[in-house]
Amino acid sequence: MPPQTVPPPSPSSAAPAPSAEAGSEALPRIVPVRRTGRWTAAVAVLVLLGLALDSVVRNDAFQWDVVLSYFATVPVLRGLWLTLWLTAVVMVLGFALGALLAVLRLSGNPVLQAVSWGYVWLFRSTPILVQLLFWFNIGALYPQILGVSTTRLLGPVAVAVVGLTLHEAAYAAEVVRGGILSVERGQVEAAQSLGLGPWRRFRRIVLPQAMRSIVPPAGNMLIGTLKGTSIVSIIAVQDLLYSVQLVYHRTYQVIPLLLVATVWYAAVTTLLSIGQRYVERHYARGTAGAR
């Protein structure tokens, strides 16, 4: 007998297809991760910050009414203006001298390299307070310079400018040198192949790329210089801190007057930080780190 063939099952006899409800029940359910520790820590920090803020605002010992009464007085604003002026002058002169020192350090002349290195080593190794006191007493070593009395030539403000500038230049030199070294050598070689002169290479190729590395530490130096000018009060320069000291020596309201200086320093530092952010974004255009 010929073998019998079994007909294929009809569609009606096939196994029923799983319903949509059955398929949805078969898929695993996605459950978000519970970050209990993160939220607990956040709540704890907010509670502590709230308690600290409440203690500052409601503590009568801070004398906030006295702070408001002295915040915009003429002596305080005059001291603030001198602080801002001193910061601007020191930063400009310090970076001008620092850029020169950086160029000397990168030159091929071993004598110029040694002089630049020695300057940076000396002024970074000596505390700024010692430097200011040294310049303040320079008349003990040189009573006259070019026939002019050093006591007339170097008053307290001039001593502050000279001391802070020489100190700032040592750090600015390393910032500028690091920025120049951050530019790839191939960029300079490509500019040379195009026939660009040394000045045009530096201005059009090296400097714009180096600024991406120079601006962040330079901004930090600016903020540090603003706060560091308070040290000139030791030589009786009437900056912001010295101005409030003169007031509380007369009124004996030490805490509120120190708060006046603190709030002004915080306000100016905040504005400088915002400006630094925009300058960084300007020089970071076209890079992956631009935000």
Residue 289: pLDDT band (50, 70, 90) is low
Mean pLDDT score across all residues of the chain: 84
Q: What is the mean pLDDT of residues 170-196?
A: 81
Which residue in 279, 286, 267 sits closest to 83, CA to CA? 267
Residue 214 has pLDDT above 70, yes or no: yes
284 or 241, greater pLDDT: 241
Question: Residue written as tokens 């801070």?
Answer: 62
pLDDT at 16: 55
Instruction: Tell me how far apart the alpha carbons of residues 160 and 136 are, in angstroms, rounded to a whole number.
Output: 8
pLDDT tens for each residue of 47-106: 999 999 888 888 888 888 899 999 999 999 999 999 999 999 999 999 999 999 998 998
Residue 290 has pLDDT above 70, yes or no: no
Judged by DSSP in three states, 110 sits in helix
pLDDT at 2: 54
pLDDT at 287: 63
Structure tokens at 217: 């530490």
Least confident of 27-36, 114-123, 173-182, 263-272: 27-36
Q: Where are the alpha helices (DSSP H) in the chain?
A: 20-26, 36-58, 64-70, 74-106, 110-125, 128-136, 150-153, 156-181, 185-193, 198-201, 207-228, 240-251, 254-283
Residue 175: pLDDT band (50, 70, 90) is very high
Residue 140 has pLDDT above 90, yes or no: no
Residue 25 has pLDDT above 70, yes or no: no
Which residue in 277, 272, 275, 279 sits closest to 84, CA to CA? 272
Instruction: Tell me how far apart the alpha carbons of residues 269 and 273 are, in angstroms, rounded to a whole number.
Output: 6
Q: What is the mean pLDDT of residues 168-181?
A: 91
Q: What is the mean pLDDT of residues 116-120?
A: 94
Least confident of 44-48, 214-218, 268-272: 214-218
pLDDT at 224: 92
pLDDT tens for each residue of 27-47: 777 777 777 888 899 999 999
What is the percent of the chain with per-residue pLDDT over 70, rounded to a whole number?
88
pLDDT at 143: 79
Residue 9 has pLDDT above 90, yes or no: no
Residue 153 has pLDDT above 80, yes or no: no
Judged by DSSP in three states, 145 sits in strand
Instruction: Tell me how far apart the alpha carbons of residues 208 and 73 are, in angstroms, rounded to a whole number.
Output: 43
Instruction: Tell me how far apart the alpha carbons of residues 246 and 238 are, in angstroms, rounded to a whole number.
Output: 9
pLDDT at 261: 94
What is the percent of the chain with per-residue pLDDT over 90, rounded to a whole number?
46
Check the CA dihedral 124-130-133-137 and report its sign: negative
pTM here? Answer: 0.77
